[in-house]
Structure 1
């Protein structure tokens, strides 16, 4: 059976209420922190994607019992010092930068060298971002080309607290140091550019010794060593990064509307909502509540009569970093010229996404001007595609695949999109939900 999808027809109008699987960022954090808690943690709606399954396999290798039955995952935590470190241990992070970077912070007290490996895409990403600050705790690292996976880390039993300035807005690097700070003597201090804050909120909910001072452009975070973490009973909210594809499909379709239920609408994650509202799209959040520190809501979106162009403020970038590919599609149908800048981080994801976003738009016949970190998109509200487009050799980046599907259903043409199993990384049920919307009568 060929591992590609062929789409030849635009989607018809739809009016649907959908449920999206659990948030990937929160799912991985729940797995890792539950593994070092004392006692049994339980989660419902845990995302069962390749990234999260890799996280469960990683903690199993460290001596943690995991039981998954129906829609409940149980993790039998071994305590902050309870990992069973063995010689020649290899942790495979597969495609997950979140797993590879965050678990590095937890493993800083390993008495034996541990090797962390990943797939082709992850092995091209920069792991100096975590090895550099974590080495200040007293950990030693060896990396391929002094930058990439595989890496070998050797921990320390005398971990000293550090001061770290995270300048790029990387939640993964910030979280890695926070988790390391749970094991280091004294007070670890982090000055971090604004980025998603799920780690901080979860530790705060658990009443661990973390202090956060929010400044205009940075957060100041203090974390102290802990001796015990209580188990976490958790209902994982839906993932806005996955919901973004259906938000975009609704915006790009005619006379359609959608409700996405029980979504995490953390202020560090809703850049796409802020950007689309500036582009004239009506998006409502209702049934709002706070769940264990995280804001949750249902999202309502209706197709706009017209889409306005945008000169996108850079301050919105970090909150939309995983959604820019579909935002570019929406800009392609806007009235006027849209400009997005300071997008360096986009090329440091599973694939060089700014390059891939540009390539998809060019294949669609959209006029663009790019630099190494910006893109200018000349919108065309009448854009229709009447040719064959092939998407392949994109490092199996799940977001490139899903963006291509949304483009095919929104603009027409004949799309041959390879490596459809890429969705297993973050959103295994993506195509099933697409089918539900396509079959709407």
Structure 2
């Protein structure tokens, strides 16, 4: 990958801007994968044309799925469940840096009696894959070699078994992977998600929208999903709404810039995606969500987010961070720029991302003169100073090849 250096020479003054954020990555990848399992031509509008999403397109094309870029949308020509066209004994699937693609496409491959060699870039090949292997082995798939990381080979089964899975880690990708596997599995697959570990709900919203036989039940302690497999799904038109995780950086910039106002239209306001806004509001951030409505195309809750320059304060975050795990790095930076001590509990999942994000943020905070401490049980304590002390000197900040850290 080409390495880039960014030089920031002038502080941003107050602003009043309206910006269109690109389409959501999670929804873009899910739209492509689900369209591949439907019968007919699906049209996807506002697809995020990022490297991860385009790598997902390439993987699906390798599996024989016809995907065409049109003037204002992408057309995906699906042939139904388990319809990938396998031409070789082992099909090589390159997923780049996209673990969303790797995990979700594994669910689709697990119910096809063929072999798929899955590999990614250097970063993806370091990421944990056991959370994929263990539940899919129970479905009937086999993995060679059986190890914690990519690359490896998946051998799907012609006789998949419906599962009752308890998702204790709060992984939306593992939940989604099992639901995609369940599409071609006879019987009812049950996924139970503990409420304190609840995760993104895009896949189940999407499946319900396109007519999948899927039901939901809530208990005091968990959310249950029941999916009856082997029901044909038909093509759809889907408009990808705008990415709240990409919006988070600009929202934080607006809060940290006195006198500013930022308007971001058509942002996904799914409860499992905008938890970071609740945290920023607790820090005294002035943020409004207007025009909240259920989008007819995607089934997602969508609204306009407006952020104003604010005087933020330190915070203690003790709740489930699974819903805003990708937004923690920028929240750490916001906390570092306030006078006082902030604490973030349950941050252990950050260790298993593209990089060890806990450690990388600590390195950056040290470089800008902010003290912080990480305990063995992944509690991040930040001793905010209110500002970055440059003393009129340039500060060189070395960051890893991790976009969340770089953007923060």
Residue matched to 1:309: 314
Residue matched to 2:106: 104
TM-score, scaled to structure 2: 0.94
TM-score, scaled to structure 1: 0.88
Conserved 8 A contact 1:143-1:149: no
Residues 217 and 379 (structure 1 numbering): CA distance in 2 closer, same or farther, change over 3 Å?
farther
Residue matched to 1:184: 185
Q: Counterparts of 1:303 and 1:218 in 2: how far apart (Å)?
A: 38
- Deviation by residue 1:217-266 (Cα, 9 ceiling, x = unmatched): 53111111123111120111000000001011111222111001100010
Runs of 5+ consecutive residues of structure 2 not aligned to the other structure: none
Residue matched to 1:385: 390
2:206 to 197, 202, 208: 202
- Deviation by residue 1:368-420 (Cα, 9 ceiling, x = unmatched): 121241111112224443443334461x21111111xxxxxxxxxxxxxxxxx
Residues 243 and 143 (structure 1 numbering): CA distance in 2 closer, same or farther, change over 3 Å?
farther
Conserved 8 A contact 1:44-1:235: yes
- Deviation by residue 1:284-305 (Cα, 9 ceiling, x = unmatched): 000111013210000000011x
- Is residue 296 from structure 1 mapped to residue 297 from structure 2 by the alignment? no
Kindly report which structure 2 residues correspond to 1:198-347, keeping only aligned pairs within 5 A, or say none.
Answer: 198-291=202-295, 292-304=298-310, 306-315=311-320, 317-347=321-351
Q: The residue matched to 2:140 in structure 1 has which SS?
A: coil
Conserved 8 A contact 2:96-2:124: yes
Q: The residue matched to 1:346 in structure 2 has which SS?
A: helix
Conserved 8 A contact 2:255-2:286: no
Number of equivalenced pairs = 399
Runs of 5+ consecutive residues of structure 1 not aligned to the other structure: 404-441
Q: The residue matched to 2:6 in structure 1 has which SS?
A: strand
Residue matched to 1:353: 357
Cα distance, 1:151 vs. partner? 1.5
Q: Which moved more, 1:21-30 or 1:248-257?
A: 248-257
Which protein has greater RCO, CA pairs closer than 8 Å, 6+ apart?
A: 1
Conserved 8 A contact 2:367-2:397: no
Q: Which moved more, 1:272-281 or 1:348-357?
A: 348-357
Residues 156 and 284 (structure 1 numbering): CA distance in 2 closer, same or farther, change over 3 Å?
same
Q: The residue matched to 1:136 in structure 2 has which SS?
A: helix
Q: Counterparts of 1:2 and 1:35 in 2: how far apart (Å)?
A: 34
Conserved 8 A contact 2:364-2:399: no
Q: Counterparts of 2:42 and 2:312 in 1: how far apart (Å)?
A: 45
Kindly report which structure 2 residues correspond to 1:8-87, keeping only aligned pairs within 5 A, or say none.
Answer: 8-86=9-87, 87=89
Residue matched to 1:90: 92
Q: Which moved more, 1:178-187 or 1:377-386?
A: 377-386
Moved over 6 A (4+): none
Cα distance, 1:335 vs. partner? 3.3
Q: Counterparts of 2:353 and 2:220 in 1: how far apart (Å)?
A: 26
Q: Counterparts of 1:196 and 1:2 in 2: how far apart (Å)?
A: 31
Cα distance, 1:216 vs. partner? 4.6
Q: Counterparts of 1:392 and 1:27 in 2: how far apart (Å)?
A: 31
Conserved 8 A contact 2:364-2:398: no
Residue matched to 1:140: 142
Residues 42 and 357 (structure 1 numbering): CA distance in 2 closer, same or farther, change over 3 Å?
same
Conserved 8 A contact 1:210-1:221: yes
Q: Counterparts of 1:94 and 1:80 in 2: how far apart (Å)?
A: 25
